[in-house]
Amino acid sequence: MTRREHLHYLSALGLTPLTSALMGTDPMIKRKISTTNELLPVIGLGTWQTFDVGESESERIPLKVVLQEFIKGDGTVIDSSPMYGRSEKVVGDLSTELGLNSKLFTATKVWTNGKDEGTRQMQQSLKLLKRQHIDLMQIHNLVDWETHLRTLRQWKDEGKVHYLGITHYTAGALPAMEKIMREHPLDFIQLNYSIASREPENRILPLALDKKISVLANQPFEEGALFQRVKGKNLPSWTSEFDCSSWAQFFLKFIISHPAITCVIPGTSKVSHLLDNLKAGRGKLPDATTRQQMVNFMNSI
């Protein structure tokens, strides 16, 4: 996509180059990957549903703009999975076309049974994402995790993956995740954590801090349910104290203000939503007292 085409698309959305330039007024907050001290921006990009599109320009051009604005806004972490339909291929195709592939911290997953099938699937992910290596490979929903963990350790030694981890999206899986975290060295875990789903605060997030395991948080908006809860309501005036100007920023700032969270990965195919999300990674974050105030407010509506 040329600069002219990019600007034309932004204009059609009611956005301007100044809109994205405002992203640079404050630096993006970054957190260290606990096992290496590599820095990651706290706001990433999920691809579930949003990047599962076909080959047409009408489907792909909006995603090209999202990727361009994501990088311009200091984002790097993009998360996908073979479970997400065509998302890996779309990320690989578009990021390569735009010359942005090497600027992404690419995370994906293995989601199958058996060593041979797991190896085949991960090799396919490398091909689809157009990468020589994957920054983070995760065992999706703990499927055959013992088998894949052995393979991932070998792949890490060979330089095919830089980091390895495990994921799950249900609170019922937290005890199993905790057991693996205690018994096996990991670089990352990924789980559902939001102002409405706070179960990880009890044991998992403190353990992640103690074991120096980095954390990706998914489903920050509870698949849109949080926006429905606050529909028609104004932000409380006190949210300005931590540089919050939208409900998306309210929900994201709550998540990244927890010291165990390395990065949150909201998914979107809309550039206006992306720019709003990226602002959550800038400016002040709520302290412990304010976090409780945020919880109390949500519980009151």
pLDDT tens digits, residue range 132-155? Answer: 999 999 999 999 999 999 999 999
Query: What confidence score (pLDDT) does residue 263 get?
Result: 98
Average pLDDT over residues 187-195: 98
Q: How far is the C-alpha of 93 from the C-alpha of 98, rounded, in Å?
A: 9
Tokens of 294: 């945020």
Across the range 240-269, mean pLDDT stands at 98
Cα gap 292→289, rounded to integer Å: 5
pLDDT of residue 21: 46
Interacting residues of 51 by C-beta distance below 8 A, sequence separation 6+: 63, 80, 84, 86, 87, 90, 91, 267, 269
- 202 in a structural domain: yes
> Mean pLDDT of all residues in the chain?
93
| Beta bridge mates, 218 | 192
Q: Is residue 275 part of a domain?
A: yes
Integer Cα distance of 10 and 248 in angstroms: 21
**Residue 12 scores a pLDDT above 80:** no
Task: Inform me whether the pLDDT recorded for 170 exceeds 70.
Answer: yes
pLDDT in tens, 194-225: 999 999 999 999 999 999 999 999 999 999 99
SS3 letters for the chain? CCHHHHHHHHHHCCCCHHHHHHHHHCCCCEEECCCCCCEEECECEECCCCCCCCCCHHHHHHHHHHHHHHHHCCCCEEECCHHHCCHHHHHHHHHHHCCCHHHCEEEEEECCCCHHHHHHHHHHHHHHHCCCCEEEEEEHHHCCHHHHHHHHHHHHHHCCEEEEEEECCCHHHHHHHHHHHHHCCCCEEEEECCCCCCHHHCCHHHHHHHHCCEEEEECCCHHHHHHHHCCCCCCCHHHHHHCCCCHHHHHHHHHHCCCCCCEECCECCCHHHHHHHHHCCCCCCCCHHHHHHHHHHHHHC
Cα separation of 146 and 139, whole Å?
Answer: 9
* Residue at 17 is within a domain: no
Number of domains the chain is built from = 1
Confidence of residue 158 (pLDDT cuts 50, 70, 90): very high
Give the rounded distance of the alpha carbon of 175 from its chain centre.
23
Q: Is 211 exposed, middle or buried (0-12, 13-18, 19+ CB in 10 A)?
A: middle
Domain ranges, residue 100: 36-231+258-283
- Quote the pLDDT of residue 253: 98
The single residue listed with the structure tokens 């991960």 is: 122
In a domain, residue 56? The reply is yes
Distance of CA 266 to the CA centre of its chain: 6
**Residue 5 — pLDDT band, cuts 50, 70, 90?**
low
Tell me how far the alpha carbon of residue 138 is from its chain's centroid.
Answer: 13
Return the ∠ at Cα 108 (arms to 149 and 65), rounded to 5°.
170
Is the pLDDT score of 26 beyond 90?
Answer: no
Q: What is the mean pLDDT of residues 43-69?
A: 96
pTM value is 0.92
Residue 77 near residue 138 (C-beta atoms within 8 A): no
- Return the structure tokens found at 228: 């429905």
What's the chain's length in residues?
Answer: 301
**CA 299, CA 196: separation in Å to the nearest integer?**
9
pLDDT of residue 277: 98
Tell me whether residue 52 is in a domain.
yes
193 within some domain = yes
pLDDT at 208: 98
| Domain presence at residue 297 | no
Residue 27 CA, distance from chain mean position = 18
| Per-residue pLDDT at 9 | 52
Residue 14 has pLDDT above 90, yes or no: no
Per the domain annotation, does 154 fall within a domain?
yes
CATH of the domain at 144: 3.20.20.100
